[in-house]
Amino acid sequence: MISIFGYGVDENGVNQVLRSGQARVLAVDEQHIAAGFSGEGSNSCSGDSGGPALNTIQKDGRTQSGIVGVVSSGSVSCGPGDVALYANVTTSETLNFIQGAAPGVNLL
């Protein structure tokens, strides 16, 4: 599961309100993290693009969360059966870019 955040459209058609939820990861590759929406949990929708996807891990005896993806694209209906794609920011190329742009950033 990943935690997702965005200001996009909700199930009632309302947008511009920050919401959060949990999405089920289906697959991960160099470019994307794919999360499926079965009607349970949460899904990203129109207007959420650029919002973060966080993963929580145990490291050095502490619980830590960090951004693993950014809302990129997905199915248009935002309903059950949809798949949302998050740009995978955990690749070495992307992490090197982040460290170069933000020296001293804490990476998990």
Q: Is residue 13 part of a domain?
A: yes
**Bridge partners of residue 36, in order along the sequence:** 24, 83
Q: What is the structure's pLDDT at 81?
A: 87
pLDDT, the chain, mean: 88
The CATH number linked to 94 is 2.40.10.10
| Model confidence band, residue 102 (pLDDT cutoffs 50, 70, 90) | confident
Q: Is residue 107 part of a domain?
A: no
Residues 91-103, mean pLDDT to the nearest whole number:
86
Question: Total structural domains in the chain?
Answer: 1
The count of residues in the chain is: 108
Q: Is residue 32 part of a domain?
A: yes
Distance separating alpha carbons of residues 19 and 4, to the nearest angstrom: 8
Q: Is residue 82 part of a domain?
A: yes
Q: Is residue 106 part of a domain?
A: no
Q: What is the structure's pLDDT at 76?
A: 67
Q: What is the structure's pLDDT at 108?
A: 66
Q: What range defines the domain where residue 14 resides?
A: 2-101
Q: Is residue 7 part of a domain?
A: yes
